[in-house]
Amino acid sequence: MNASALIVDDERNVRLMYRAALDGIVDVDEADSAAQALEMFSKRRYDIGILDLRMPEMTGLELLERMNHESIMTPVVFITAYADVPNAVSAMKCGAIDFLQKPILPDQLRAIVKDVLVRHAIEDRKTSGPHDFEYHLRCAKRAINLRDFAAARANLISALELNPESPQALNLAGVMFEMREEFEQARRYYGRAIKVSKDFEPAQSNMRRIYELFHFGSSKEPFNLEIK
């Protein structure tokens, strides 16, 4: 049985484009509003939700908050044309860590959907024997989606023991601390990720957000961080 996805966007052409990109990967349903999506999420268990951030009447962020309130734990990917710092932080606090900015390529959408599906297919039961770096990284992402910070921390420790110079794991640790509003710790881990790989865009983007929030307020001037 194929995995299932719900695409939530008020623009029909956008929904059709996403459906075409995901053909053969997941079974797709569509909702043209957050209110319709909430009703559909409550009636059927979807493996992933693909949410537009800006929609009339109810935003994607408000939809995610309602889903959390109603204990609908479907993992979501946000797709948006708006690099909106407060909304990104609020979405992260709700467990959303997967974002794509418009315009997106079909390959980008397929890659992130596949990653989320693999991440949430990991079973909760403990298995014997050692696990590799990718296993712990995916478990950490899944735990962050579920806001289980204890499990996220344990898996990040294991991942960093296996690969202490991984920008992905260091950046994800920063995300976890930012979700917990431990912003100085988040800044340190984003900085460590950039020090390992100065071109690692997820950490650069996260550091820009931290910098804007605590140094420039609402300033949208570009910020390029270099750590020697």
What domains are defined for the chain? Answer: 3-120 (3.40.50.2300), 129-216 (1.25.40.10)
Distance of alpha carbon 205 from alpha carbon 222, whole angstroms: 10
Position 227 scores a pLDDT of 29
Q: How many whole angstroms separate alpha carbon 22 and alpha carbon 167?
A: 28
Mean pLDDT, rounded, for 77-83: 77
Provide the pLDDT for residue 196.
96
Query: In angstroms, what CA-CA distances link 119 with 133, 141, 156, 179?
Result: 13, 7, 14, 19
User: 85: pLDDT confidence band, cut at 50, 70 and 90?
Assistant: low
Widest pairwise Cα distance in the chain: 52
Q: Where are the alpha helices (DSSP H) in the chain?
A: 12-21, 34-43, 60-69, 85-93, 106-121, 133-145, 149-162, 167-179, 183-196, 201-211
Neighbours of 192 (CB within 10 A): 20
The total number of residues shown for the chain amounts to: 228
Q: What is the pLDDT of residue 129?
A: 58
Cβ-contact 146, 165 below 8 angstroms: no
**3 state SS of 221:** coil
Residue type, 217: G
Confidence of residue 14 (pLDDT cuts 50, 70, 90): very high
Given this model, what pLDDT does residue 88 score?
74
CA atoms within 13 A on the CB side of 187: 14
Q: What confidence tens digit (pLDDT) does each residue in 133-161 have?
A: 999 999 999 999 888 999 999 999 999 99
- DSSP-based three-state secondary structure for 163: coil
Residue 17 has pLDDT above 90, yes or no: yes
The structure tokens 């991440």 sit at 119
In order of 6, 60, 126, 132, 164, the CA distances from 129 in angstroms are 36, 40, 9, 10, 21
At 211, the pLDDT band (50, 70, 90 cuts) reads confident
pLDDT computed for residue 205 by the predictor: 86
- Predicted confidence at residue 82, as pLDDT, reads 61
Contacts of 137 (CB under 8 A, 6+ apart): 155, 159, 166, 168, 169, 172
